[in-house]
Amino acid sequence: MMQTTDLRESQTGQMLLATGVVLLMSLLSMAIFGVKVAGLTLPHEAASDDVIDTTNQVLESIQSLTQARTDLWVDGGLEPMEAAELAFETVHDDLLHHGELRGVEIKLTNTVLTQVDANTIAVAAELGVSDGEAMLNYDVNFTLDVQSS
């Protein structure tokens, strides 16, 4: 004797399975939409924090780094202006390399070093920091104390 399955029972199972799949896809779609909408409420891109943080770090350290290197070059026998130019150039090169390691571009452009008096050199430059998402320009001005030995 052959057992027969009622066609109605077979279709009910398939409809239940199809309903479950549609419900699962709807929930997944809502979850993805929710994550996207949650990202819209942020005040700024997370990536731009790197630009702000890097700019602050550069501004905090550029004068002291340049001063220390200038002192080393003057103690080594260079004239104060030559020592300051070399010090600033090497600091720029190190900052550029530091930025590459962090995925941020750091540039110091329009650099002007001016001898104010026998013991003071004024440094002015434009700092540019960018990461492909955000860019920040800042004018940098500081003085170096130089003492010829």
Residues 72 and 131 placed together within one structural domain of the fold? yes
The Cα 107–Cα 96 span in angstroms is 6
Q: What is the domain-level CATH number for residue 119? A: 3.30.1300
Give the model confidence (pLDDT) of 14-31 as tens digits.
778 888 888 888 877 777
Domain ranges, residue 64:
48-145
Residues 56 and 21 placed together within one structural domain of the fold? no
Residues 78 and 126 placed together within one structural domain of the fold? yes
pLDDT more than 70, % of the chain: 81
Residues 59 and 30 placed together within one structural domain of the fold? no
Residues 93 and 65 placed together within one structural domain of the fold? yes
Residues 6+ apart with CB under 8 A from 79: 148
Residues 103 and 136 placed together within one structural domain of the fold? yes
Residues 76 and 18 placed together within one structural domain of the fold? no
Q: Are 36 and 45 in contact (CB under 8 A)?
A: no
Best-predicted range by mean pLDDT (8-17, 20-29, 75-84): 75-84
Q: How many domains does the chain have?
A: 2
